[in-house]
Amino acid sequence: MAGSEDRRVRFKTLRTSSQSRRGMMKAFVSVDMEGMPYIVIPGQLGLKGSLYEEARKIATKITLAVADELHKNGFDNVVVADSHGPMVNVQIDELPEYVEIVRGFPRPLSMVAGAEECDVAVFLGYHAKFGTAKSTFDHTYSGAHINRLEINDVPVSEFLLNGYTLGELNVPVIMVAGEARLLEDDVKKHDTSIVTVALKNSLGRVSARSPSMLKLDKDLRKSVAEAVDAFKKRRIKPLQTRKPVKIRITFMATQYADVAELLPIMKRLDGLSVEYTAKTVKEAYTTLELLLLASAGMSASLESTR
């Protein structure tokens, strides 16, 4: 009898613990770099760049301010997805106890890895899609390989690709902070309820005007509070697209389409473009990741023949 009673007590404790976890609020933050303030040259974006450490400090300050404000507004945990390049950019020395960080690449769902159990999402340092005029470092997911990416015939930026993926997980994007052209031409076009913060106004691909960090800190904190309030009042809904999901990729060079066409599900449309259909956005996303890794391999293979 004593053993049976002990088991019942343990089960009750586990159940209470599980219920407590379900009651906790968790936020997800995806951090890119090209849309961060003050970042305007290639030397700020790569591991060996002359000003890479400066860029890391900028991205970390922005991320910590947003995480702090999310915590103050009721989120017990914040999952940060380090999502630029090799995805090891955010400095980890000063991460508070309530923050978890997702680092490294490749990984499933790339820029939104770790969002599965979160209640809301925030995108930081995001930028406009390839071909956007006067927008710093405009590109779509892979600047070396992709010219244009379409989901169900809609040209998408990384914001919309990641937003649709989170929508499938029922996680709404409540705030986007990044380059101003992305916010005006893309975010507000698809969902006016999402709170936006312009971290910089681009003058061209490699030049921009940015506010002071002090002003940005105030703007970000105010906007987080506004976004959380809108979420709690159910004013912001997850981004959705129809299923099945049709993906069209226009590559930068024909050899990448050659490689993509090797997959049986691919339909070659022309020299640069392929198309495929996926049952879910998640399936479409992971297939895209595979294609880009194959494209990178093709680039490396060609380089080795020089």
What CATH code is carried by the domain that includes residue 163? 3.40.50.10780
Within this chain, do residues 96 and 167 fall inside the same structural domain, yes or no? yes
* The pLDDT of residue 22: 52
| Number of Cβ within a 10 Å radius of residue 117 | 14
| Number of Cβ within a 10 Å radius of residue 19 | 9
Which of residues 181, 208, 232 is at a domain's end?
A: 232
Structure tokens at 293: 């890794």
Within this chain, do residues 74 and 193 fall inside the same structural domain, yes or no? yes
Nearest Cα to Cα of residue 25 among 163, 117, 106: 117
DSSP letter for each residue of 207-237: EEE---HHHHHHHHHHHHHHHHHHHHTT---
Which of residues 211, 232, 253 is at a domain's end?
A: 232
Instruction: Round to whole Å and give the CA distance between 31 and 36.
Output: 9
Q: For the whole prediction, is pTM greater than 0.95? A: no
* The pLDDT of residue 14: 34
Which of residues 199, 232, 265 is at a domain's end?
A: 232
Within this chain, do residues 224 and 162 fall inside the same structural domain, yes or no? yes
Domain that holds residue 211: 20-232
Within this chain, do residues 221 and 249 fall inside the same structural domain, yes or no? no
pLDDT tens string for the chain (306 positions)?
Answer: 434 444 443 433 333 333 334 579 999 999 999 999 999 999 999 999 999 999 999 999 999 999 999 999 999 999 999 999 999 999 999 899 999 999 999 999 999 999 999 999 999 999 999 999 999 999 999 999 999 999 999 999 999 999 999 999 999 999 999 999 999 999 999 999 999 999 999 999 999 999 999 999 999 999 999 999 999 999 999 999 999 999 999 999 999 999 999 999 999 999 999 999 999 999 999 999 999 999 999 999 999 999
Instruction: Round to whole Å and give the CA distance between 194 and 8.
Output: 46
N-terminal to C-terminal alpha carbon distance within the chain: 77
Structural domain total, the chain: 2
In a domain, 4, yes or no: no
In a domain, 240, yes or no: no
